Structure 1
């Protein structure tokens, strides 16, 4: 793999179209910034409508190319297995690239990259297991059956917080079925996706099966989601952008799969081990510096342990080490964007104005070692209410608001008092209570006595304004295939349609 952290320094990265890296039609490039310094470290191509059209046409050509179209399902699976092996071989390089690009911890990125090959292998095994079905009909000598087939060119717009991991969950099944893809990674973290493109070539995928176009959402993203050659759009990001993409898709009458915002409830009952629950809440909100759509940013604690829990949570939060993401003992790195840092600061200030209290954190760290980077302290806010802006809007940062509750009914109402419905968590030893919560909470994922535990083998997705469609498990194979009905009359005769025969 040529694209390494060292190779990216002060370089210009081109588009990946038709199996090769090509310069943008306009000749324009935009900087990508290192979150630890706030300084640019490479430039990425700024695709315009002409580049998007070239990428979509490349994917359309590849879709009907016999080298891909006539490839057996088993052989497609073998290609994915080769890609899995290459990702594993280059896992540490890919991890270092993502850490430099978005500021996430190197130890977390290594774990993600080393887990990703299993996901490619899982969906490789699915390639020849997507079955059709036969349908009984009320006529003899007639066969009625359904085929499942690829849908065409799929546009994938990925976020900056975990580019490759979130791409894998849709790219792998999409290719297993036989679709072709145009990927538009976030302009804030494109490098790892471009590196993956090199591995896709090395794995032996035919040219044009996977294309990568980089650039701003308002130009490249807009042109891609409006293109008439797209069969489906996959988007991970904010609810506001999801609405805009859905409108573009509606104009072309194509479906979308959306994983959007979240404001997930994390519930703690008095019967649990305090240390375990505190660790769960800390993991749920402060891992990845809170830059996770499933972050447990609203914490509800049973009133009779509220004060003790806050004391324990604050004490544990004070011990979290904010530092450079490449250092192994760092617990939280920087936020990925300067604008994100400003957004987090604004929401914390707004919470204070509306009556919340900062129990710990609430500002940029004072260490001189972190000057210039986009760092923010892990923050716990008490005296919170659901109607406060920082409790109702997705912040996407290391900030949690804590609210006491007195009854299970009150807790359920508080948990569901949100426009979102992505994830949720509960800590209790009472399994009946936990299962009632799982039944009653409006969330696509429910964690019981754990949080942020995920698997590519299970379906996940959101309710309400958190989006629609499912990723993971066998369900996702249905997302990227379509049903074709076939009817065969093997009687050897055809009745005159204008002759009525009485029985």
Structure 2
């Protein structure tokens, strides 16, 4: 762990085996932090914010350090990609792409560092000035998920640093390797002592302490909805600022007038990329009745050909799920769909391949004959599973898409631009794509409606999450009011 500028082991001496989900091999031993370790990190971050130079460092200089971190990520991206693929099981090609995306996030916020100047207001009286400035929130707790360990970390680290905050990051206990490496790079880049702290350990111990501690001013979490609710409750102890991204059950609407080839290809990319372990995965395929049979037939034929395997094999198209626990969750999810009346058109089981027996693999799966009242349609499965629903009218398509407690993202495929615009205006989601899915870039905000979360990451608003707004008023010609004589 990295606490107050030093690399340390947990005080308890406890460790955790880090497992490669492809073959269950132990690839590392990570120190296992406890409450006392988290308290030490919070104290370091508090002292660094209250008494250190970082919050008062000119924004341009903070931006230069964040730019240097981006340079180092590019320099070491091959190593970082390998760590990410070992940790998560995703393909090496995916991880390499992630490193370029992560670099872009750091560069975007580095460039934005000195662009958020004060806003001058025109006060309603003479001989006065009024301006609005943004200042750092303070000590930020950041809890990141296992599916995109370093990418999700970059969405939090870069804006927090640029804004002048200090922070404690708690990565997922099962995928800490790339996070450890990027903290080495931040140390090398010259981030001052105590500004960035890394605590490893479980969410129930160190994560819970970070969420509830009185000296933490903001908590940012990406993960499951139930954990998000607990964090929200814990954060109320001192009314922390909160930013929560809690996943989704994302609809992908395909109209009959859409380009057929594009729709099929994008439907696959929407779900089977990273084995469906993506918060924005388009797991609800909502297809116009007239093309349902043809689209499902083509989809099933292509899904059968997806190559599963080791992420380090350049021919692999889809890797394993993250853990045995998550594999069992996906299996139960599909079994629930069967019991509810869904038809398994393809997949629905573990692969029959001896070479994959030791990994947490599950076949890419398509469930047809689905209706919106099924649990399998409403619940986030977070695996390589598509449910297929049908509609007969534009209004019905939008109604189905909105029938969810979630509102993270959605897609619309049609060659009728008017129809597309009518749909996206009615779809209650933070991001809606037209003739595309799962595309993002640092300049565009990311977050959800409804129970998909609170707040936004990325874009200018992602930087604003890490700031407080202050109004400064000055009377240039002071004098008594004489209200009381």
Q: SS at 2:219's partner residue?
A: strand
Q: Aligned partners of 1:102 and 1:65: how far apart in 2?
A: 38
Contact 2:46 2:215 in 1 (8 A): yes
User: Displacement, 1:498?
Assistant: 4.7
User: Displacement, 1:19?
Assistant: 1.4
User: What stretches of structure 1 move > 4 A for 4+ residues in a row?
Assistant: none
Residue 479 of structure 2 corresponds to 494
Q: Aligned partners of 1:66 and 1:356: how far apart in 2?
A: 59
Q: Aligned partners of 1:234 and 1:69: how far apart in 2?
A: 19
Q: Does 1:187 align with 2:162?
A: no
Q: In structure 2, which of residues 409, 430, 439 is the aligned counterpart of residue 444 of structure 1?
A: 430
Note the 1:405-416 alignment, pairs <5 A: 405-416=391-402
Q: Does 1:435 align with 2:421?
A: yes
User: Displacement, 1:371?
Assistant: 1.2
Q: Aligned partners of 2:440 and 2:342: how far apart in 1?
A: 32
Contact 1:38 1:338 in 2 (8 A): no
Residue 287 of structure 2 corresponds to 301
Q: Aligned partners of 2:39 and 2:219: how far apart in 1?
A: 15
Q: Does 1:325 align with 2:325?
A: no
Q: In structure 2, which of residues 381, 384, 387 is the aligned counterpart of residue 395 of structure 1?
A: 381
Q: Aligned partners of 1:317 and 1:224: how far apart in 2?
A: 42
Contact 1:52 1:220 in 2 (8 A): yes
Residue 80 of structure 2 corresponds to 94
Q: Aligned partners of 1:238 and 1:150: how far apart in 2?
A: 27
Q: In structure 2, which of residues 56, 59, 69 is the aligned counterpart of residue 70 of structure 1?
A: 56
Q: Does 1:287 align with 2:283?
A: no
User: Displacement, 1:494?
Assistant: 2.2
Q: Does 1:223 align with 2:217?
A: no
Question: What TM-score results when the alignment is normalised by the length of structure 2?
Answer: 0.98
Q: SS at 1:74's partner residue?
A: helix
Residue 259 of structure 2 corresponds to 273
Note the 1:293-372 alignment, pairs <5 A: 293-372=279-358
Q: Aligned partners of 1:23 and 1:464: how far apart in 2?
A: 40
Deviates more, 1:276-285 or 1:45-54: 45-54
Residue 260 of structure 1 corresponds to 246
Gapped runs of 5+ residues in structure 2? none
Question: What TM-score results when the alignment is normalised by the length of structure 1?
Answer: 0.95
Residue 79 of structure 1 corresponds to 65
Residue 11 of structure 1 corresponds to none
User: Displacement, 1:351?
Assistant: 0.6
Residue 167 of structure 1 corresponds to 153
User: Displacement, 1:496?
Assistant: 5.5
Q: Aligned partners of 1:353 and 1:70: how far apart in 2?
A: 60
Residue 41 of structure 2 corresponds to 55
Gapped runs of 5+ residues in structure 1? 1-14
Residue 210 of structure 1 corresponds to 196
Q: Aligned partners of 2:393 and 2:472: how far apart in 1?
A: 56
Q: Aligned partners of 1:204 and 1:346: how far apart in 2?
A: 48
Q: SS at 1:251's partner residue?
A: coil
User: Displacement, 1:23?
Assistant: 1.3
Q: Deviations over 1:40-99 (max 9, x none)?
A: 322222211111111011111221344323321111111011101000001110110011
Q: Deviations over 1:158-211 (max 9, x none)?
A: 000001111111211111110011000001101110111100011011011111
How many residues align structurally? 485
Note the 1:36-55 alignment, pairs <5 A: 36-55=22-41
Q: Aligned partners of 1:155 and 1:22: how far apart in 2?
A: 19
User: Displacement, 1:499?
Assistant: 5.2
Q: SS at 2:459's partner residue?
A: coil
Q: Does 1:157 align with 2:143?
A: yes
User: Displacement, 1:356?
Assistant: 0.6
Q: Aligned partners of 1:498 and 1:391: how far apart in 2?
A: 65
Deviates more, 1:322-331 or 1:66-75: 66-75
User: Displacement, 1:306?
Assistant: 0.6
Residue 176 of structure 1 corresponds to 162
C-alpha spacing 1:66/1:255, structure 2 compared with 1 (3 Å): closer
User: Displacement, 1:488?
Assistant: 1.5
Contact 1:33 1:41 in 2 (8 A): yes
Q: In structure 2, which of residues 91, 95, 112 is the aligned counterpart of residue 126 of structure 1?
A: 112
Q: Aligned partners of 2:27 and 2:124: how far apart in 1?
A: 67
Q: SS at 1:148's partner residue?
A: strand
Residue 13 of structure 2 corresponds to 27
Deviates more, 1:212-221 or 1:68-77: 68-77
Residue 112 of structure 1 corresponds to 98
Q: Aligned partners of 1:319 and 1:23: how far apart in 2?
A: 46
Q: Aligned partners of 2:234 and 2:318: how far apart in 1?
A: 37
User: Displacement, 1:235?
Assistant: 0.4
Q: SS at 1:206's partner residue?
A: coil
Q: Deviations over 1:373-395 (max 9, x none)?
A: 00011000101112222111101
Q: SS at 1:366's partner residue?
A: coil
